[in-house]
Amino acid sequence: MGQRGIMKRISSLFLLTVLAMALVLSGCDVGKKDSGNGKVKIGVTVYDQYDTFVSQLMECFQEFKEDNVEIVVYNASQSQQTQNTQVQKMIDDGCDVICVNLVDRTDPTAVIDAAKKGDVPIVFFNRELVEGDINQWNKLFYVGANAVESGIMEGQLAATACLADKSIDKNGDGLIQYVVLEGEAGHQDSIVRTEYSVNTLISSGVEVEKVGYAIANWNRAQAQTKMSQFIDQYPDGIELVLANNDDMALGAIDAYESAGIIRSKWPAIFGIDGTDVGLEAVRDDRMVGTVYNDKEGQAKAMYRLCIILARGGDITELSDEFTIDDGKYIRLPYDKVTATNINLYIKR
């Protein structure tokens, strides 16, 4: 072999070595993204572990856990700052994917920056970030539901009841005097549910008169306090209560019970969620109806998506099971629940 031949051999050997090294170094980017050995570590941070719906959603999520999967859950206790620190810790601890129930849905910047830096995909859930933010990176996703749908369904449930049962119009003035109990100001579900439930009620042909609105932050005790004030002002002047969630509907019920007002004098009360306590209230005829917020479906979508992302896969792998919008969103449908179909939901 001449000198040129030897040089050629050496340079192709060098090329091969460089190629092999590149493949080894980029090993974690090719195909597998989990912590190696097939194990997956999922981190979760919830905005408030005492929120009834979110805590039941997390119970469902944990039920999907398989043996080779570890799930760590943090409570942000309503502090975005705390949540940002938790996300960084989960990244440092080697989580393959993180689920974030934002405290402040308008302030996900620190979470997104940390995730990008650590190259860890994020599945936001229940508290929806704005489009501009979710589009900041291709590894950001959202699992939840369509708030408009829940508002329309609550309005339909209330309209059906008001049109069918004339005794709801207690003073017989042809108008339904109503109160709305709203979730946190700024939460996508509060703004939208209030607007669509009331508009649907009106467009269904029910004539209404607004007695009052009160923000009770999704919270049963706060709703009871607000409702007690309305009862003091209008002892038998309220015929309908539209609550943005079941816990606040239950707070309204608590207020009537503690005021010593008998059931036949209560307004028709509606909620949204179908939490265990909410469904019991429908079953016992304390609440007329609720709208089922499919926590089982949302938990399943979150879990499946986490496993796929942790293994370097793509959200489209779920397209047989769930509807995927814009390659980023999975929204589970709501359902109307009344005394007639309550058994289908209580047994879930």
Which spans of this chain sit near ligand BGC (rule: CB under 6 A)? 51, 53-54, 126-127, 187, 189, 218, 245, 272-273, 293
- Angle between helices 188-203 and 147-164 in degrees, nearest 10: 30
> Which residue bears the tokens 């939490």?
275
Minimum CB separation from ligand BGC for residue 220, in Å?
Answer: 10
Strand partners, 141: 123
Cβ-based nearer residue to ligand BGC, 149 or 273: 273
Question: Measured from the CB of residue 188, what is the shortest distance to ligand BGC in angstroms?
Answer: 8
- 218 versus 329: smaller Cβ distance to ligand BGC: 218
CA 277, CA 345: separation in Å to the nearest integer? 12
Between β-strands 208-215 and 176-182, what pairing exists: parallel, antiparallel or unpaired?
parallel
Q: Under 8 Å CB-to-CB from 341, ≥6 apart: which residues?
A: none
Cα(348)–Cα(340) distance, integer angstroms: 16
Which lies closer to ligand BGC via its Cβ, residue 265 or residue 348?
A: 348
Residue 47 beta carbon to ligand BGC: minimum distance, rounded to whole angstroms: 6
For tokens 């001449």, the residue is 2
Encode 99-116 in three state secondary structure.
EECCCCCCCCHHHHHHHH
d(C-alpha 182, C-alpha 194), whole Å? 7
Q: How far apart are CA 341 and CA 282, in angstroms?
A: 10
- Minimal distance, residue 249 CB to ligand BGC, in Å: 10
Taking the complex as a whole, how short is the minimal distance between the CB of residue 274 and ligand BGC, in angstroms? 10
Which residues in 172-194 are b (16+ Cβ under 10 Å) and which e?
eeeebbbbbbbbbeebbbbbbbb
Mark 21-37 as b/e (b = at least 16 C-beta within 10 Å): eeeeeeeeeeebbbeee
Of 53 and 230, CB closest to ligand BGC = 53
Closer to ligand BGC by CB, 122 or 206: give it.
122
Closest contact distance (angstroms) between CB of 161 and ligand BGC is 20
C-alpha 295/C-alpha 61 separation (Å) is 9
Identify which of residues 224 and 293 has a Cβ nearer to ligand BGC in the complex. Answer: 293
CB of 177 or CB of 224, closer to ligand BGC: 224
CB of 291 vs ligand BGC, minimal distance in Å = 9
Q: Which is nearer to ligand BGC, 76 or 307 (CB)?
A: 76
| 87 three-state secondary structure | helix
CB of 59 to ligand BGC, least distance (A): 14
